Homo-oligomer: A and B are copies of this chain.
Amino acid sequence: MASTAEPGEGIRLEELQLATRNRGMPLEGLRYDVTPIGMHYLLVHFDIPDVDADSWRLRIGGLVERPLELSLADLRRRPARTLPVTMECAGNGRARLDPRPLSQPWLVEAVGTATWTGTPLAGILADAGVRPDAVELVFTGADRGTQGDIEQDYQRSLTVAQATAPEVLLAYEMNGRPLEPQHGFPVRLLVPGWYGMTSVKWLTAIEAVAAPFEGYQQIEAYTFRESDDDPGQPVTRMRVRALMIPPGIPDFYTRVRSLDPGPTTLRGRAWGGFAPIVRVEVGIDGVWAEATLGPPLGEHAWRSWTYDWLAPPGEHTLSCRATDADGTTQPTVPAWNVKGLANNLVQDVAVTVRA
């Protein structure tokens, strides 16, 4: 199978099948500090498994002194932490690449922010006693399928240092309610700042291992590669990105926006997993100006921004781009890679301002 579409080729049936199962956040959802559960983006690799909460157990084993088997009630009795966390799919932006890698065809909308509640993983790992010869922890989900011709449970790993960061949770509530099935019921890993593939849903096992994990999702699916034989670099944290609520009203089919001339406030959110957002700029037909940042919601959540625009009649292209405290900003030319990952190309919104 070719791994990319032909030049100019429309979306294939296989891509559409994924797009109708998975779901982005409609961009007007950027108005909410915390995304309603049913508006949060969702990417499911295989099927949403049917997990019985009463018989569900999380097994912590491998290179640990004291293997554990924990029920949902056991996890809920442990210290709880609640965090607003912005999560984005690593494939966000894939369908804007040329040639287009064949997978879930996201444009820009694979993001959301939820208030997650769970117990810190570090405490559980301390109770289990991770042995000094363990270098990574492998997280296994209950979802099973075939990818890259390999039948597999969904699995990802973190180093011991990454896994014991204080913000890493075993999460059992989203926006104050038990997880819905599609978001990992009864318990998922939550790794703030990282792309969503890291936050393994429907968690069943955590295994401490002596060598870096080489599973499909770790060394094949989520790596930056320039060609098929490039071993590549792992995808980790979310690249810096800003998105705008498209202003005015839409055309149903084209989604082109119409609005009245005069003062209008453009609004959006910006986030990134490497460093705090320090700047958002708005582009009006390619001329950039500073937006105003709103108050932070939390260390791992998106930041709101506004920009007052005096809209003149005519056709315009509105853009936005974020910059983080490391000085990293968004590209205007996308960085292509084989799997179509982490394309944080600047968003453009076409608007017609009425005469």
Closest to A27 in B: B21
Contact B26 A253 (CB under 8 A): no
Q: Which of B26, B106, B110, B180 contacts A39 (CB 8 A)?
A: B180
Contact A39 B182 (CB under 8 A): yes
Q: Which of B105, B183, B252 contacts A45 (CB 8 A)?
A: B252
Residue of A12, A95, A183, A250 with most partner-chain B CB within 10 A: A250
User: Is A31 part of the binding interface, using a Cβ–Cβ cutoff of 8 Å?
Assistant: yes
User: Is A10 part of the binding interface, using a Cβ–Cβ cutoff of 8 Å?
Assistant: yes
Q: Which of B38, B48, B182, B249 contacts A47 (CB 8 A)?
A: B249
Query: In the bound complex, what is the Cα–Cα distance between A39 and B105 (angstroms)?
Result: 19
Interface hit among A57-65, A140-148, A301-309: A140-148
User: Is A99 part of the binding interface, using a Cβ–Cβ cutoff of 8 Å?
Assistant: no
User: Is A102 part of the binding interface, using a Cβ–Cβ cutoff of 8 Å?
Assistant: yes
Known: A36-B180, A249-B144. A20 touches B23 (CB 8 A): yes
Contact B249 A145 (CB under 8 A): yes
Query: In the bound complex, what is the Cα–Cα distance between A180 and B10 (angstroms)?
Result: 33
* Cβ–Cβ < 8 Å partners of A182 in chain B: 26, 36, 38-39
* Cβ–Cβ < 8 Å partners of A254 in chain B: 14
- In the complex, the count of this chain's copies comes to 2
Contact A31 B19 (CB under 8 A): no
Query: In the bound complex, what is the Cα–Cα distance between A297 and B109 (angstroms)?
Result: 36
Give the number of chain A interface residues (Cβ < 8 Å). 61
Residue of A20, A24, A37 with most partner-chain B CB within 10 A: A20
Closest to A221 in B: B252
Closest to A3 in B: B253
* Cβ–Cβ < 8 Å partners of A103 in chain B: 253
Contact code string A60-91 (vs B, CB < 8 Å = 1, else 0): 00000000000000000000000000000000
Known: A11-B10, A145-B249, A251-B147. A47 touches B20 (CB 8 A): no
Contact A26 B38 (CB under 8 A): no
Q: Which of B29, B107, B250 contacts A20 (CB 8 A)?
A: B107
User: Is A127 part of the binding interface, using a Cβ–Cβ cutoff of 8 Å?
Assistant: no
Q: Closest 3 CB pairs between A and B?
A: A10-B10, A11-B11, A23-B23
Interface residues of chain A, those whose CB is within 8 Å of chain B, are 1, 5, 9-12, 14-24, 26-29, 31-32, 36-40, 42, 44-48, 50, 95, 102-103, 105-107, 109-110, 144-147, 151, 180-183, 246, 249-255, 258
> 15 new A-B pairs (CB below 8 Å) besides A31-B50, A146-B249?
A11-B11, A16-B19, A17-B107, A19-B20, A21-B26, A29-B48, A36-B181, A37-B38, A38-B42, A45-B252, A47-B250, A145-B251, A146-B258, A147-B251, A151-B258
